[in-house]
Amino acid sequence: MVLNSFNRNSASIENLQLFTWSLQSRRSGQMLVSWWLGTRYANTVTQRSDPNLSVALNVGLIRGMIRLTGANNSRVTLQPPGALFAQQIVADDELMRAEKDYLHQFGKLSDAAISRRLARSL
């Protein structure tokens, strides 16, 4: 779902960690939105970790839904089965409504946009 929010369905693991972490609680979500909007400085460590992401990535790899690329496998890209699964989630208005609404406020994401947005307040 998060990868589907990125251009070309691909993101660095660091940014994927950040956005999956922000979905863990209302507080973490509000913190990322504040950083994104520049209303709160990202002077604290912005590299956040979702402990469940590694499990999700392993399942995605086994099922052929994602592929790891880049130096040290530092990027994650949705493969056709993963993109189809994400589109099925998007198409169901009731499924994961809160998560979809939350991610929608950021628009289409990219690693470059995240760096620009969060680096401006460092």
The domain locations on the chain are 3-119
Instruction: For 29-63, write each residue's pLDDT tens digit.
Output: 999 999 898 887 665 555 567 778 999 999 999 99
Residue of 113, 7, 2, 13 lying closest to 71 (CA atoms): 13
pLDDT at residue 40, rounded to an integer: 74
Cα–Cα distance for residue pair 71/73, rounded to 1 Å: 5
The SS3 assignment for 9 reads helix
Mean pLDDT by 10 residues, the chain (122 residues): 94 93 92 87 62 91 95 94 95 95 95 84 42
pLDDT at residue 42, rounded to an integer: 63
The pTM (predicted TM-score) of the whole model is 0.86
Cα–Cα distance for residue pair 59/105, rounded to 1 Å: 28
